[in-house]
Amino acid sequence: MFILTLCLCIGRMLNIRHAYIAPEAWKYKRLWQLLVLFDFVEFMGSTPKVLQTAFTGGVLHFGTFTTNVLNFVEWTAALAGCLFCLVWIKVFKLKYTQLLTVGVASLAAYPVLMYLLIMPGLNIEALYLPVFMRSFGNAIFFTTLTIYLEEAMPFAHFFMGLTMAGIIRNGPIATLCSGLYSLALRHRISDNLGRGLPYDMTGIMSISIRQLYGYTCFVAIGVLIVFLLWDVQPVRSTLKKIPTWNFVGRMIKKKEKKVANS
């Protein structure tokens, strides 16, 4: 259905005068690199949707009211990540690439900590740190990528770029990553059961979840190494000025007058 919908949307975009996302907005060089990075964050964000939920529900048997405590930890971490970006960019004025590296390191810390902590009978307090690190890294990554997007695209296409990232990240990539993790978890549980390991179902599920967190650690650490080696400044160190809404309104009125006169 996604492929069919994509074909219909592309056809509509190419055949109407004012498309919701203009064809010119897809032609920026750095756009596709940013979309790939958005997809990486969504891949890392699929682990709590599948693995963490399976661990807290199937192994620890936490209820909804218990696991909702982790939402407050995520909210606090997201706020801390945004404030960290503000201090990094506006006060210290350091490189954005290094800020992305900090975000990747925080995201990589989550599967590493979860891999070390997974065991039956774990207290919920032990999950505070990995959940905090994941949400902290998400906030840094999304804030910095939005800045990159604003730098790479003019204001007329900036919100189109945000829409592209949102549709791709929350649409096919989110569904695909969650489905792959769910399929992989079911495969690992079946494989471990077939090997005849001397554990009950709770132990088998713990081992399977830990194995998938281990694979995620390899991916996250590999991306972190790339960012550590990629110590360059893709955009300028000073942000370009974002136009005010009054200025945007005057620009639109001028364009409308030119169209009417022509």
145/150 Cα distance (integer angstroms): 9
pLDDT tens per residue, the chain (262 residues)?
A: 878 988 998 898 888 878 888 888 988 878 888 888 888 888 888 888 899 999 999 999 998 888 889 999 999 999 999 999 999 988 888 877 788 889 999 999 999 999 999 988 899 999 999 999 999 999 998 898 888 888 888 888 888 999 888 887 777 888 888 899 999 999 999 998 888 878 888 899 999 999 999 999 999 999 888 888 875 554 445 566 667 778 878 887 887 788 777 7
Query: What is the C-alpha radius of gyration for the chain, rounded to an integer number of angstroms?
Result: 22
Q: Where are the domains of the chain?
A: 39-231
* Tokens (6 digits) for 36: 């790939």
pTM, entire model: 0.85
CATH fold for the domain made of 39-231: Growth Hormone; Chain: A; (1.20.1250)
Distances (CA, A) of 10 to 23, 70, 120, 211: 9, 40, 49, 40
